[in-house]
Amino acid sequence: MARITFKFEDKDIPSKVVENVEAGYTIQEVTEDNDIHLNHNCGCVCACSTCHVYIEKGEDTLQEITDREEDFIDRAINPRIESRLGCQCVILKDDADIEVIIPDQSQIIGHEH
């Protein structure tokens, strides 16, 4: 089973490790299932950039980025080379070891989830 370490730009939020994640789930789904705050205004259909995250480790164990996702990442706050949308990061390998940084959610206009 995959292991995901969530770190946060907001230093008041402690890191959280989620283990036993099955392949086929998205980073966004893992946050929802484990009470980790990550906005997702469009309902996880790759139509906004509110679930923007940084993949620090394990990019090769995630579904490849699409042109559509890249277009929406360009609209995110502070995009970087390791930027992805949580709703599009499908975990492909059961033995994945992934590190994710969640940007400061207070800068995101929209629904709190």
pLDDT tens digits along 14-60 = 999 999 999 999 999 999 999 999 988 887 878 889 999 999 999 99
Instruction: Tell me what pLDDT residue 110 has.
Output: 57
Quote the CA–CA distance of 9 and 25 in Å, as a whole number: 23
- Count of CB atoms within 10 A of residue 53's CB? 22
Count CA atoms closer than 13 A to 5's CA, side-chain side.
9
Q: pTM of this prediction?
A: 0.91
> Which domains, ranges and CATH numbers included, belong to the chain?
2-106 (3.10.20.30)
pLDDT at 100 over 60: yes
Structural tokens at position 87:
């709703």
pLDDT at 73 over 70: yes
The burial class, CB within 10 Å (0-12 / 13-18 / 19+), for 36 is buried
